[in-house]
Amino acid sequence: MIWFYLTSGLFLGWSVGANDMGNIFGSALSTKMLRFSAAAVLSSVFVVLGAMITGFGTTRTLGSLGDVNAIAGSFTVALSTALTVFLLIKRGLVVSVSQAIIGAIIGWNIFTSSPTDYRSLAQILVSWIMSPFLAGLFSFVYYYLLMQFLKRSKTHLLEIDYYMKAFAVFVIAFGAYSLGANNIANVVGVFVSSSPFSDISITSDIIISPAHQLFFLGAVSIVVGIYTYSRNTTETVGKRIFKLTPISSLASIFGASTVLFLFSSTTVEKLLNGIGLPSFPLVPVSITQAIVGAVIGIGFAKGGRYINYKILGKIGIGWIITPLASGIICLVLLFIMQNVFNREVYTALKFEINRPVIRQIEKWGVPTGNFTNIKDTAFESQQEFRGFLTKLGYDKEEYMFRIFKGAKVEYFHADSNYAKEKMNPNVFTQGQINSIKQMHNETFRHKWMLYERMKSLSDEWNDLPRIPQNEYLNKELEEKRETVCDMFRVK
């Protein structure tokens, strides 16, 4: 059953390899710059590298939007996404897998009465708007630079052909790496919380986490899609918008790949924060959207007279319909899975309201006046807790999300011996390690309680002042705190 549940995610991976990778290396094949076998091998290697090295960034954002905590639910969310993509493509619409998976996750949140993190959702929505504009800008610049190079170059045509082939190889490798890094979250991101795998220890220092095992499986499914079907989909969406030459095609693919890389790279995030600039949110974006924007950029670089604006209108309709359709399909399939097939599509969580919880959510900016006459109360499910909060007048999803976060009951047991084995001194400071040792045998009912205890024992667990230069450092610190929580969580 575990492998059956994973099939929907692996099918999504196959779809990405079959459709999106064909767009990336299609121009190189059609102009005989590369043979299919060479393009497929090159793409396969770099899509796996991108997924394994950089896939965590976008996956965390997807997880924060909705924590799908049962594998049957993960299967249903991924299946809803795949069905949406298939049905809308059959209707002739240009569809984004990224938009479909977001719609399905929100559908799962609605079905389970789980709150949606509006901050993460806002980042994703902004990226949907930014990505095609940025891709258009980059492709415009790349095309201009390439044309200037060809005009001013005094090299022989054979040498120019060699340079273009080398550039095509670079573009394909970069595009495959960026696609793997950014879109692996769409393929297996919803399975991370409910992963059926456990750590695989190669040596004491080399441990393959469940997430990395999922990333590898997802990347392999993309590779299978490349080899089995991508040759049939080497026509880019751009050719329907504006007729592309080999040079303009490479420039547009390079521009779209740059956007995917920027929205995936923790290195770029760290670099921008280090010089005091805001970074790009690490969110999954659509290669289709990016290529559409890139092709429009090429069209404007050539004067903008032959852009097919009717196709653009059709694409815009697809972008609106996709998340809505995916969310509705997910709601229907979740109902069927739970009530017809008797599958657990979510795990019921426990919550409690008491004085410490109320004080904590007040620190997070939630008005707590409605809790004044509430005694210590426990709740056995998300639906029960949401109903209670709704009756109290908490109808803002932003407040709902924070209250859920503060009231969620989890159990943690600190073990200094286990921490000594797991806490890598190359990752954690000595002060952080020593503070964890002081917590030996202490227990906690909420994650924030463990956080607060860690901060009280060492300032090295406290966030730095919230300025752009510290944004990445605080994110690294949050990841360390999460690692400690995962280490001590009682399952």
| Averaged pLDDT in 10-residue chunks for the chain of 491 residues | 88 86 76 85 95 90 88 95 85 80 96 92 88 92 89 78 88 94 92 84 75 93 90 57 72 92 91 85 86 84 70 74 95 97 94 96 95 92 96 93 96 90 87 92 96 95 88 90 92 79
Q: Establish if 49 belongs to a structural domain.
A: yes
Q: Which residue has the tokens 């069905």?
A: 83
Whether residue 250 contacts residue 168, with contact meaning beta carbons closer than 8 Å, is answered with yes
- In 275-308, where does DSSP find H-type helix? 287-301
Q: Which domain holds residue 445?
A: 412-488
Q: Establish if 333 belongs to a structural domain.
A: yes
Dmax (CA) for the chain in angstroms is 84
- In 263-412, where does DSSP find H-type helix? 266-274, 287-301, 309-339, 355-363, 382-392, 397-407
Residues 6+ apart with CB under 8 A from 349: 69, 381, 382, 408, 409
Q: Establish if 345 belongs to a structural domain.
A: no
Q: Establish if 344 belongs to a structural domain.
A: no
In angstroms, the CA 334 to CA 427 distance is 40
In angstroms, the CA 119 to CA 6 distance is 29
Query: Do both 303 and 166 map to the same domain?
Result: yes
Query: Do both 321 and 215 map to the same domain?
Result: yes
Total of domains in the chain: 3
Q: Establish if 182 belongs to a structural domain.
A: yes
Query: Do both 385 and 422 map to the same domain?
Result: no
Query: Do both 251 and 166 map to the same domain?
Result: yes
Query: Do both 452 and 355 map to the same domain?
Result: no
Query: Do both 366 and 319 map to the same domain?
Result: no
In angstroms, the CA 13 to CA 183 distance is 9
In angstroms, the CA 240 to CA 300 distance is 15
Query: Do both 334 and 384 map to the same domain?
Result: no
Other CB atoms within 10 Å distance of the CB of residue 120: 20
Query: Do both 155 and 170 map to the same domain?
Result: yes
Query: Do both 403 and 417 map to the same domain?
Result: no
pTM of the model: 0.89
Query: Do both 131 and 263 map to the same domain?
Result: yes
Query: Do both 256 and 357 map to the same domain?
Result: no
Looking only at the bridges linking them, the beta strands covering 412-413 and 200-201 are: unpaired
Whether residue 134 contacts residue 261, with contact meaning beta carbons closer than 8 Å, is answered with no
Q: Establish if 346 belongs to a structural domain.
A: no
Query: Do both 114 and 35 map to the same domain?
Result: yes
Q: Beta partners for 489?
A: 412
Which of residues 311, 339, 367 is at a domain's end?
A: 339
Q: Establish if 335 belongs to a structural domain.
A: yes
Which of residues 386, 407, 428 is at a domain's end?
A: 407
Q: At what angle do helices 36-54 and 157-188 cross, to 10 degrees?
A: 50
Q: Establish if 60 belongs to a structural domain.
A: yes
* Token pair listed for 247: 């040079």
Which of residues 316, 339, 362 is at a domain's end?
A: 339
H or E element in which residue 450 lies: helix 447-457
